[in-house]
Structure 1
């Protein structure tokens, strides 16, 4: 067995163990393991993704940012993890008051994953934060009209869709 294969196997095993700890609620222990892995594999997008998520889960948003940036900076994540990392990065920027970065990140993420309604929802919130509330509200109305299974909302779907086109329109 080559050293590279052995190292890769160890990395995979440690990453799985850290993720398991996080999923079991042992977030601080998982964070310690993941930070060590990220130091050992600084360009590994999967390690960066998991390290960002554990920091976010612990409320350590500022510390999560560089890991999210690494996670989305190169190919290698599954589409689900990439979308989640972009959402995490944009949401974290927003939580830190870095609204322009939140909008830029989430807008690009929505373009990359146009069917992801969670990304669109967070994008709408970020739009509000930069003074583009009308655009954000229109996006949210569209999401509500097209995704709600509530019968009362569904009965107003045509009206909601019209208002989503121009919230200030009168009929």
Structure 2
């Protein structure tokens, strides 16, 4: 099998839950590949899919050290953030999530994971802000969509903002 066929084959193996076999083929490609970023990303996904987050974290970091297409760069950075959160490295993960939201504001999949991270850090105000913003911007049901502007009005009301700030300040004391 040629290298041009081996990469898609390794990806197919991972998708079919043959993680060790997939990694074996991906690692073999690293010796000759000039485009190593995507290979490291797929190795990271293989470890992540298998629940081996510690190993996945290292390979997400390695993937980000090489040129990646825009989608793969997002996936590697998002994988790094999510994996750091899974490993209990909440402050590190929060920094990653914050940078991801700044760089990719339209990628709403970041928000629930960032909110989970904020909850783990006991920042309930941030978690609430993230989730309410998501619900207001992307109502999950027609019933909520009917109240979208009302919810946004309350959420941005100066009295409600002050109340949220008070709650946050008192919880940090």
8 Å contact 1:134–1:167 — kept in the other structure?
Answer: no
Aligned counterpart, 1:114 = 105
- Residue 18 of structure 2 corresponds to residue 26 of structure 1: yes
Please point out which of 33, 41, 50 is paired with 1:58: 50
TM-score (norm. length: structure 2): 0.80
- Of 94-103 and 12-21, deviating more is 12-21
Map residues 98-113 of structure 1 onto 2, 5 A cutoff. 98-113=89-104
For structure 1, which runs of at least 5 residues remain unmatched after alignment? Answer: 1-8
CA RMSD of aligned residues (A): 2.5
User: 2:137 maps to what in 1?
Assistant: 146
Change (3 A) 1:161 1:66: same
Q: What is the alpha-carbon distance in structure 2 between the residues aligned to residue 129 and residue 38 of structure 1? A: 37
Aligned residues: 160
Is 2:139–2:148's contact at 8 Å kept on the other side of the alignment?
no
Q: TM-score by structure 1 length?
A: 0.81
The 2-side partners of 1:167 and 1:28 are apart by 53
After superposition, what is the alpha-carbon deviation per residue over 1:81-135, rounded to whole angstroms, capped at 9, x for unaligned?
2111111110100000001110111111111111100112222221222222211
Aligned-partner Cα distance in 1 for 2:154–2:125: 11
Deviation for aligned residue 1:143: 0.8
Q: What is the distance in 2 between the residues matched to 1:164 and 1:28?
A: 48
| Alpha-carbon offset, residue 167 of structure 1 | 8.6
Give the equivalent residue in structure 2 for 1:89: 80
Alpha-carbon offset, residue 163 of structure 1? 4.7
Gapped runs of 5+ residues in structure 2? 165-173
